[in-house]
Copies of this chain bind each other. A is one copy, B any other.
Amino acid sequence: MRYSEEHKENTRRRVVEAAAKRFRKRGIGAVGVATVMADAGLTHGGFYSHFASKEALAAEAVAHAMDASADSIAAAGGLAAFIHAYLQPAHRDAPEKGCITAALVAEIARHPKSTRAVFTKKLRAFLKSIEAHLPTPDPAVAQAIFATLVGTLQLARAVSDPALSNQILSAGEAAARRLSSLEPAGV
């Protein structure tokens, strides 16, 4: 072969990362293949020497972004710190760098089973990670905490009144802490 394996893998990764960013910012359906390729410094025609379809890229982008945040609880320094960081205005205001679940769950739900299966696999891993950081591990509690975080961030993003948006973030943090049986406030 001509270009090294490494070269091709690098390009592919750049495309996946550009896609993960754009998709979170504007939605998968609203972003064209040409835009993603341009973000990666390429023209659109080369797309199909890397991916079978836009759908295949969507699945890879979801997987990539889920993997990128897989260790974010440990990185934050524990569940309480993670919850706090997750519900910060900074996260709300930068969806392209944030949680791909909050940005795209509803859209993923409308995608083919193959894409949903990829999401499901990565979600399971993340839920395990939440559970492992719980004072008293319980899968149902981990699921409920994540659902609360995702729902809260989305409501805070949709609302047009900044004051209400901030209140929602605070309310979500208190609720997530309460569900995880952490002490009420502090940081």
Q: Residues on A close to B: CB < 8 A? A: 26-27, 29-30, 95, 101-110, 113, 116-117, 119-120, 123-124, 139-141, 143-152, 154-155, 157-161, 164, 167-168, 170-172, 174-175, 178-179
Contacts and interface: CB of A to CB of B under 8 A. Distances in A.
Contact of A154 (B139, B150, B152, B160): B150
Contact of A148 (B104, B113, B119, B147): B147
Given A141-B171, A143-B171, A175-B147, A109 B157 contact: yes
Nearest to A152: B147
**Copies per complex of this chain:** 2
Contacts of A155: 101, 105, 123, 143, 146-147, 150
A88 to B, nearest CB: 15
A149 B154 CA distance: 12
Given A106-B105, A107-B106, A151-B151, A171 B158 contact: no
Mostly helix, strand, loop or mixed at chain A's interface? helix
A1 B11 CA distance: 63
B120 A157 contact: no
Contact of A147 (B101, B171, B178): B171
> Which of A110, A124, A151, A172 has the largest count of B CB atoms less than 10 A from its CB?
A151
B159 A116 contact: yes
A174 to B, nearest CB: 6
Contacts of A174: 140, 144
Q: Sort A-B residue pairs by CB-CB distance and give the 6 closest, nearest first.
A: A151-B151, A144-B175, A147-B151, A140-B171, A109-B157, A116-B160
